């Protein structure tokens, strides 16, 4: 049994014209947890119980395309406009008429930041793991990093994801190997430079090892659960999120220059490759200007990309304390 699953009830939430599966626990002010690629509600397995016990209603969703949620076929169904509306609709459905607190990791962080920006009346406060908000993008990330990667003949996984069917076929051919190699690549235990310098013609998993044993923070049951979820859902929907970068830039034009003004928290890792994706650019410093009510930018020493899984105790404690400190929260 996955940690945290004994305290949860699974329900289907109708939102924005689709149905999302959610693991729900506790009573009180609403906290919505949003995962990244390639994850599920279970990315928050260590946080659900403690946050619920602190006096909150916790709703950890499977994003559209994942697990028990609806899986539209169209690429544009996974754009930022749709996926932020999904989260706003979850707040409407589960929040009892009050705004909610939203917490996300990586793509989930990107989604909660922009839900707070585009649906401010729905969002009471926002916390993000791994990915800072540095202002509304005027250029798609795959274009912004092109001089560093594609123009130098180097591999960049988000560019590799652009051609429908290619990355899906590679990952789905060996889901267990895909999960193990992809997670290890971005973890704090991976050696410096792992995966760097690959040619732009490489496949996603080329040169990535399957560690034996896998780091202890992700057990065989955790890996097996993810494999079973992707075996039934496939990877098309999850990877489609990466294929909407230019559409997202157009959608966000009305919000350019605006800040996110809700109370906010950021937690990252000193070994998270996201923070060095754009060499010479200090994303945390840029975030402080774009999020004026940022309470803290906490960096966990030696932590890689899978923040709340690699450092569950530290992340859970900081999130719970922050939630309990929000005005009007009950402990």
Catalytically annotated residues: 106, 305
d(CA 96, CA 93) in angstroms, rounded, equals 7
Q: Which residue has the tokens 């946080």?
A: 47
d(CA 146, CA 154) in angstroms, rounded, equals 9
d(CA 79, CA 76) in angstroms, rounded, equals 5
54 DSSP assignment:
T
For residue 73, the Cα-to-chain-centroid distance in whole angstroms is 21
Tell me what percent of the chain is helix, strand and coil, each rounded to the nearest 5.
40, 15, 40
d(CA 136, CA 114) in angstroms, rounded, equals 9
Long-range contacts formed by 11-17: CB under 8 A, 24+ apart: 12/68, 13/59, 13/61, 13/89, 13/90, 13/93, 13/94, 14/89, 14/93, 15/85, 15/86, 15/88, 15/89, 15/90, 15/92, 15/93, 16/82, 16/85, 16/86, 16/88, 16/89
Whether 47 and 35 have beta carbons less than 8 Å apart is answered as no
For residue 83, the Cα-to-chain-centroid distance in whole angstroms is 12
């Amino acid at each position: 049994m996955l940690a945290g699953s004994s305290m949860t009830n699974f329900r289907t939430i109708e939102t924005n014209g689709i149905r999302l599966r959610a693991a729900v626990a506790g009573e009180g002010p609403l906290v919505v947890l949003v995962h990244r690629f390639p994850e599920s509600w279970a990315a928050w397995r260590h946080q659900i119980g403690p946050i619920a016990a602190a006096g909150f209603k916790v709703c950890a969703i499977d994003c559209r395309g994942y697990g028990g949620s609806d899986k539209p076929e169209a690429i544009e169904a996974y754009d930022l406009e749709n996926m932020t509306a999904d989260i706003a609709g979850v707040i409407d459905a589960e929040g009892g008429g009050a705004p909610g607190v939203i917490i996300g990791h990586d793509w989930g962080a990107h989604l909660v930041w922009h839900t707070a920006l585009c649906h401010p009346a729905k969002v009471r406060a926002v916390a993000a793991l791994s990915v800072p908000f540095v202002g509304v993008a005027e250029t798609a990330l795959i274009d912004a990093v092109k001089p560093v990667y594609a123009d130098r003949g180097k591999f960049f996984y988000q560019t590799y994801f652009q051609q429908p069917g290619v990355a899906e076929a590679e990952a789905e051919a060996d889901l267990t190997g895909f999960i193990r190699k992809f997670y290890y690549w971005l973890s704090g235990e991976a050696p410096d430079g792992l995966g760097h310098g690959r040619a732009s013609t490489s496949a996603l998993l080329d040169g990535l090892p399957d560690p034996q044993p896998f780091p202890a923070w992700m057990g065989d049951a955790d890996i097996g659960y993810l494999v079973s979820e992707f075996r039934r859902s496939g990877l098309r929907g999850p990877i489609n999120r990466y294929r909407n970068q230019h559409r997202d830039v157009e959608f966000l034009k009305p919000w350019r220059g605006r800040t996110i003004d809700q109370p906010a928290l950021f937690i990252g890792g000193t070994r998270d490759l996201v923070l060095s994706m754009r060499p010479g650019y200090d994303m945390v410093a840029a975030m402080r200007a774009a999020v004026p009510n940022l309470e803290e930018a906490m960096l966990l020493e030696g932590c890689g990309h899978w923040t709340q899984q690699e450092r569950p105790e530290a992340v859970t404690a900081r999130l719970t304390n922050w939630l309990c400190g929000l005005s009007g929260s009950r402990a």
